[in-house]
Amino acid sequence: MLDIQKIRKDFPILSREVNGKPLIYFDNAATSQTPQQVIDCIVDYYSRYNANIHRGVHTLSQEATDAYEEARIKIQQHFNAAKPYEIILTSGTTESINLVANGFASLLKKGDEIIVSALEHHSNIVPWQMLCEHVGATMKVIPMFENGQLDMETYVSLLNKNTKLVFCNHVSNALGIINPVKFIIDKAHEVGAAVLIDGAQSSPHIKADVQALDVDFYVASAHKICGPTGVGLLYGKEDWLNKLPPYKGGGEMIDQVTFEKTTFAGLPHKFEAGTPNICGVIAFGVALDYMNDIGFEEIGAYEHELLVHATEKLLAIGDVTIYGTGDKTAVISFNIENIHPYDIGTIIDKLGIAVRTGHHCAQPIMDFYKIPGTVRASFSFYNTKEEIDTFIEAIKRAKKMLS
């Protein structure tokens, strides 16, 4: 059992007020809040050992380098990568995906095929479209059912010897659906295709084991896992990372430079040009420690309770449609009949409640349901049933005002 009141004390922001009401933060799928332990780490870094890494022989640089590389190992262990250098530190999921898409531009040829799912975030659609246009490859889409689940039968029928890559999110950010990624990976491997799994939305709730999944690439952002913004990771199998060319040129990623020719550094530095977000990476390590100390099983079980509680109460209001059913993380994407999601979001913000409204960077899903958007309430382990009850009262009030 989690001691939620104790956990909440770790998050200073949770005690602030918004519009004269206690903040109820239900926009965790957009970004999570930051515990004091992570805030302290950031203050400590800039107060004591701010320096550039991998370059100086001086003490501060050594300390910063050690802390940065220790964080890489924490991230490696968290995702169970085989080697620390299979973890590439990036500015986030979006950059990680672009790094891979950019690299594949030199590996794909005309006639090759890539497959994406209908549930993707724009950041997992647009880079691949750009790639396909560039190399003359074709993009195919795994369709979804009305309940938000992906159609695995059609997926299998899309696979063939021309399929080179498959991309899918582990959990849909718009609906919270947990996708059958192991099946997707195994089927893709049968035809020799590589698989990238977008773990941005799963990583706050599910501890992924990249070796057990046998996934080729796995990406995530620190800011959704209690860490700071501007940091993320790309896990790649060593063989794949060696095949991909560097993404950005600059300092840190070279071996030898002359004006005639540059040879590149080995992994992971080949992909880490320039000064990285040193403090952010170190703080990401602290965030993972923080969450692992609480325990992902405990987090998952508690958040599931919140999801069940909120779903029941919300449906009881009447005229509510929830999009996406089945195996889900603690996300509820919903609409109330004849009311625009934006109007609901605006009214409940006045009551101190933060939810996301709109298309959630997943317009194809909204097109599928023929809706402009949804209200998305996404819960974290620091939320409570009492907060959900207050939210339900607020939704009732908004419904009365708007209908």
Ligand X SMILES: *Cc1c(COP(=O)(O)O)cnc(C)c1O
Residue whose token pair is 């890494």: 53
Q: Is 361 a catalytic residue?
A: yes
CA 278 to chain CA centroid, Å, is: 20
- For the bound state, the minimum distance from the C-beta of residue 231 to ligand X, rounded and expressed in Å, comes to 9
User: Interface residues with ligand X (CB under 6 A)?
Assistant: 92-94, 121, 123-124, 169, 173, 198, 200-201, 221
- For the bound state, the minimum distance from the C-beta of residue 257 to ligand X, rounded and expressed in Å, comes to 30
- For the bound state, the minimum distance from the C-beta of residue 201 to ligand X, rounded and expressed in Å, comes to 4
- For the bound state, the minimum distance from the C-beta of residue 299 to ligand X, rounded and expressed in Å, comes to 17
Catalytic residue (choose from 41, 132, 168, 361): 361
65 or 124: whose CB is closer to ligand X? 124
198 or 216: whose CB is closer to ligand X? 198
- For the bound state, the minimum distance from the C-beta of residue 192 to ligand X, rounded and expressed in Å, comes to 26
- Alpha-carbon span 227 to 230, nearest angstrom: 9
- Alpha-carbon span 256 to 243, nearest angstrom: 19
- Alpha-carbon span 210 to 77, nearest angstrom: 10
- Give catalytic residues, as residue numbers: 361
